[in-house]
Amino acid sequence: MDKHTILIVDDEKNILKVVSLTLRDSGYDVDTAQSAEEAIEKFNQRSYDLVITDLKLPGMTGLQLLEHIRYQDPDFPLIMITAFGSIENAVAAMKKGAFNYLTKPVNPDELLAVVKAALEKSELKRENITLKSELRQKYTFSNIIGKSPIMQDVFDTIRMVAKTQSNILILGESGTGKELVARAIHFDSDRPAGPFITIDCATIPREIMESELFGHEKGAFTGAHEKKIGLLEHANNGTVFLDEIGELDMNLQKKLLRFLQEREIMRVGGIARIKLNIRIVAATNKDLEQEVLAKNFREDLYYRLNVVTIKMPPLRERSDDIPLLANYFLEKLNQVEGKMVKGFEDTVQDAFLAYHWPGNVRELQNIVERAYILCPNITISPKYLPAKLQPQGGKGTEPFDEMSLIETEKRLIIKALNNTDWNQSKAADALGISRKQLRTKMKNLGLLHQ
């Protein structure tokens, strides 16, 4: 068998030397980099089996490197090493997909054990790739799935605009994958090593939005006890994704327009002008032309943002993609959870195609996950679908055990909350329900005060 090739990333030469020697002595082929940017350049030029990276690096951090690598390959194994061993760092690394987490000074035996386990798990995952998933690659672009003509047009547009510097406006209903498109544009652009920062204009309170965007100087207002660097400044040399831009109030629309015109900001309470090099990608589920006519959105800002428009179609308009997406989500669950559910009964696929999907791709993903959790068999039948998808409202199917449904719902809600750092608005959006509905469910399940 060929040697496994491992890339080690650390700005401390002594750490690189010690870890490299340990791995080479055990028969591994080792390459090194002293920054995340250098690692990305090498990762794009050579094939590796594993990356081991320090958390704290000059410039781009180890967590940002992890996010970049796993965005290109969601199953790629990465081990985090850091001198700042803490629960918070471990949780952050594992949430972003790190295989494991080690602290300096690294114990050689522990390092070798973790490396061996990571490579074995990675090989098993890759061995489970079937002909179906290989065929699916034909219809995949940067984790966006679609074989329908309308989605192929979206892919073509992304390819054409990604390497330009133009502002992009992504339109589409909630759950259609607007952020996936924004990330695809960033990672296919000429600035993939730069930060990608999402700013949700709908969830940040208006009274702090200006400070969040532009930052503030110490003493700028009551409670400003120290200088704060804003999100735009943090995104310098990268991409900012302004999600739900239609929710931005008029005062901040004016300030954002000034930034787009001058490409510089002033922190709140500051006098210095700070030049920034940022690509802006905005998204909304609103009809901005109507918002302009209703005087809710500035016309000049609309035209600044709307240099290139990408329209994400609702799932009901791309029915060819529904079986492809459902099987994609099922394969991902098999990889993560370890169960082997092979597919869906034909009646389930029929139900999927007949449903109107108001929550779009996100709703489909949640329903597949729900059915996967409940299903003890190798194929998913209609009885494991919500009542709204069951034939004749569920006639002819066995009833669910009420307690198992409650536990399943609780598990899904907790997972959505954990994935959004317990942001109720984002969790509700991920679940395809309103924030009010989520809070009612949380109260009934005893989760409201967690």
415: CB partners within 8 A, 6+ apart: none
- Centre a 10 Å sphere on the Cβ of residue 204 and count the other Cβ atoms it contains: 17
- At residue 396, the pLDDT reads 37
Give me the amino acid identity at 99: F
Structure tokens at 62: 């180890």
Q: Average the pLDDT over each of 80-89, 236-245, 260-269 and give the range with the smallest value.
A: 80-89
For the chain, percent helix, then strand, then coil, each to nearest 5?
A: 50, 15, 35
Residue 2: what pLDDT?
A: 61
CB 15 within 8 Å of CB 54: yes
Q: What is the pLDDT of residues 139-153, one digit of tens each?
A: 567 778 888 999 999
5-127, CATH topology level: Rossmann fold (3.40.50)
The CA distance from 77 to 4, in Å, is 12
- Mean local confidence (pLDDT), 218-232: 84
Distance CA 168, CA 245 (A): 12
Residues 265 and 100: their CA atoms lie apart, in Å, by 39
Question: Average pLDDT for residues 186-212, to the nearest whole number?
Answer: 88
Domains 5-127 and 149-312 share a fold: yes
Tell if the pTM clears 0.75, that is, is over it: no
Q: CATH assignment of 316-444, given 3.30.70.3270, 3.30.390.30, 3.40.50.300, 1.10.8.60?
A: 1.10.8.60
Task: Extract the runs of DSSP E, i.e. beta strands, from 66-209.
Answer: 78-82, 100-103, 140-141, 144-145, 168-171, 196-200
User: What's the whole-number mean pLDDT along residues 390-395?
Assistant: 54
Distance between CA atoms of residues 70 and 324, nearest Å: 22
Residue with tokens 């028969």: 27
Residue 444: per-residue pLDDT = 78
Q: Which residues contact 159 (CB under 8 A, 6 or more apart)?
A: 188
Residue type for 34, please?
Q
Tell which residue, 42, 114, 48, 46, has the closest CA to residue 76.
48
Residue appearing with tokens 């985090």: 80
Predicted confidence at residue 139, as pLDDT, reads 57
**Integer angstrom CA distances of residue 328 from 174, 198, 325:** 20, 25, 5
The average pLDDT across 209-231 equals: 86
Q: Tell me what the pLDDT averaged over the chain comes to.
A: 85
Q: What is the C-alpha to C-alpha distance for residues 33 and 314, in angstroms, rounded to an integer?
A: 43
Can you name the CATH fold of 149-312?
Rossmann fold (3.40.50)
Helix H or strand E encompassing 436 = helix 435-444
Q: Which residues pair with 331 in a beta bridge?
A: none
Confidence category of residue 337, pLDDT binned at 50, 70, 90: confident
Q: Are 10 and 53 in contact (CB under 8 A)?
A: yes
As a whole number of angstroms, the distance between CA 355 and CA 319 comes to 10
pLDDT of residue 441: 82
Answer for the pair 400, 376: CB distance below 8 angstroms, yes or no.
Answer: no
Phi, then psi, of 264 in degrees rounded to 5: -150, 155
Residue 317 sits at the vertex; the CA angle it makes with 71 and 390, to the nearest 5 degrees, is: 95
Q: pLDDT band at 155, cuts 50/70/90?
A: very high
Tens-digit pLDDT profile for residues 275-325: 999 999 999 999 999 999 999 999 999 999 999 999 999 999 998 899 999
Mean pLDDT throughout 19-36? Answer: 93
What pLDDT sits at residue 401? Answer: 45
Q: How many CB atoms lie within 10 A of CB 95?
A: 12
Write down the domain spans for the chain: 5-127, 149-312, 316-444
Q: Is the Cα torsion angle 404, 406, 412, 415 positive or negative in sign?
A: negative
